Amino acid sequence: AQSVAQPEDQVNVAEGNPLTVKCTYSVSGNPYLFWYVQYPNRGLQFLLKYITGDNLVKGSYGFEAEFNKSQTSFHLKKPSALVSDSALYFCAVREFGDMRFGAGTRLTVKP
């Protein structure tokens, strides 16, 4: 079965610095990869996805993600973090119709 792993429970960055939230995946076929964000007491919101094509995917709120097939990774990035980016971030993979999520990474951006 498909799966994703988020190796960091917590990521702390200073406002204005670049941020990276890591994700690795495991699938038997073509990977369809997603990033979502969750703010307190809310549902998940879609940020971006990789289906095919360019390895660098751009999404909402200035986020982007880099697909790396050889390293089976799909890391989320942003060039300059904002305090308002502080939230819980989930990586997900969809292979056979159902979508499977990682455990989540809590991003804290400090002023």
- Residues 18-37, one symbol each (x = binds another protein by CB under 8 A, - = not), give --------------x-x-x-
Q: How far from 91 is each of 14, 15, 16, 73, CA to CA, in Å?
A: 22, 22, 23, 10
8 binds another protein (CB under 8 A): no
60 binds another protein (CB under 8 A): no
Kindly tell me which residue out of 49, 64, 66, 77 binds another protein, with binding defined by CB under 8 A: 49
96 binds another protein (CB under 8 A): yes
Q: What is the 3-class SS of 27-76, one letter each residue?
A: CCCCCEEEEEEECCCCCEEEEEEECCCCCEEECHHHCEEEEECCCCEEEE
44 binds another protein (CB under 8 A): yes
In one-letter notation, the amino acid at residue 6 is Q
Applying CB under 8 A, the residues found at the interface with another protein are 6, 9, 32, 34, 36, 41-46, 49, 51, 90, 94-104
